[in-house]
């Protein structure tokens, strides 16, 4: 199974992806995690994106597309994957279409986690407070000012993908404001209908 989880920062993509990993035995491919690992390791890619990520802007399409193209070639992605945080622009979505077509693969579904923008910042603030209470380090881009820019990037550059995938009849919209369990059930129902 090959899926995309679409939604703004704080929509719960990571949480839902982890559940799908356990249920379907497929891998979660988070471009944010891959880029953060590259920054931490100080690779050439990491050095190129460090400052961009710290400001909450999107990294260049070609760079992110190359990372995903390499990653889906790995043996563990053979059974399927959940793309979390990719694609984020129309150019990335088009590149993904080409990438999949070249390999004779297709997307089973694009799940949009629909959330109310007004409550997102509160939700992220409470997620951060919980992480802090557990003694976990916060992501530097969860700072409120940077988060604002990450949300702007989502509304300006990623929201057009909702129509992109709707017109290709693969979009499933789920209410991301419901409790985690309810969202997970709705995602599963959407996927049952997609297969
Ligand atoms: P995330 O963990 O998905 O919120 O991503 C954190 C940051 O990584 C984003 O704010 C971007 O700077 C960068 N990033 C992650 N995925 C992408 C992508 N598909 N395209 C461009 N930049 C990305």
Q: What is the pLDDT of residue 140?
A: 80
Ligand 1 midpoint to CA 186 (Å): 26
How many angstroms separate the CA atoms of 22 and 40, rounded? 27
Do 39 and 53 contact (CB within 8 A), yes or no?
A: yes
The closest-lying atom of ligand 1 relative to the alpha carbon of residue 88 is: 19
Q: Is 83 in the pocket of ligand 1 (CB under 6 A)?
A: no
Token pair 């982890």 is found at 18
pTM of the model: 0.94
Ligand 1 midpoint to CA 80 (Å): 21
Does position 89 have pLDDT exceeding 90, yes or no? yes
Structure tokens at 20: 């799908």
The closest-lying atom of ligand 1 relative to the alpha carbon of residue 84 is: 3
Full residue range of the structural domain in which residue 98 is found? 2-194
Count of structural domains within the chain: 1
Q: Is 124 in the pocket of ligand 1 (CB under 6 A)?
A: no
What CATH number has the domain bearing residue 50?
Answer: 3.40.50.300
Q: What percent of the chain has pLDDT over 70?
A: 99
Strands 171-175 and 27-30: unpaired
Q: What percent of the chain has pLDDT over 90?
A: 82
Q: Pocket of ligand 1, candidates 35, 86, 146: which has the most ligand atoms within 8 Å of its Cβ, to mutate? A: 35
Q: What is the pLDDT of residue 157?
A: 98
How many angstroms separate the CA atoms of 22 and 163, rounded? 29
Q: What is the pLDDT of residue 142?
A: 80
Ligand 1 midpoint to CA 30 (Å): 9
Q: What is the pLDDT of residue 50?
A: 97
Other C-beta atoms within 10 Å of 138: how many?
A: 12
Q: Is 16 in the pocket of ligand 1 (CB under 6 A)?
A: no
Contacts of 193 (CB under 8 A, 6+ apart): 172
Per the model's pLDDT, the better-predicted residue between 112 and 147 turns out to be 112
Does position 109 have pLDDT exceeding 90, yes or no? yes
């Amino acid at each position: 199974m090959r899926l995309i989880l679409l939604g703004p920062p704080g929509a719960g993509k990571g949480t839902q992806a982890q559940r799908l990993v356990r249920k379907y035995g497929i891998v979660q491919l988070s471009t944010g995690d891959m880029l953060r690992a590259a920054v931490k390791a100080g690779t050439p890619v990491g050095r190129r994106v460090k400052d961009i990520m710290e400001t909450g802007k999107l990294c260049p399409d070609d760079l992110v597309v190359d990372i995903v193209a390499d990653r889906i070639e790995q043996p563990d992605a053979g059974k399927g994957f959940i793309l979390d945080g990719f694609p984020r622009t129309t150019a990335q979505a088009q590149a993904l279409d080409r990438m999949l077509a070249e390999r004779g693969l297709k997307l089973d579904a694009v799940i949009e986690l629909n959330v109310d923008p007004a409550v997102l910042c509160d939700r992220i603030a409470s997620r951060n407070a919980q992480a802090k209470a557990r003694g976990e380090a916060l992501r530097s881009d969860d700072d409120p000012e940077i988060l604002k820019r990450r949300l702007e990037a989502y509304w300006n550059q990623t929201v057009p993908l909702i129509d992109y995938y709707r017109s290709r009849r693969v979009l499933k919209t789920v209410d991301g404001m419901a409790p985690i369990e309810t969202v997970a059930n709705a995602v599963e129902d959407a996927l049952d209908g997609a297969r």
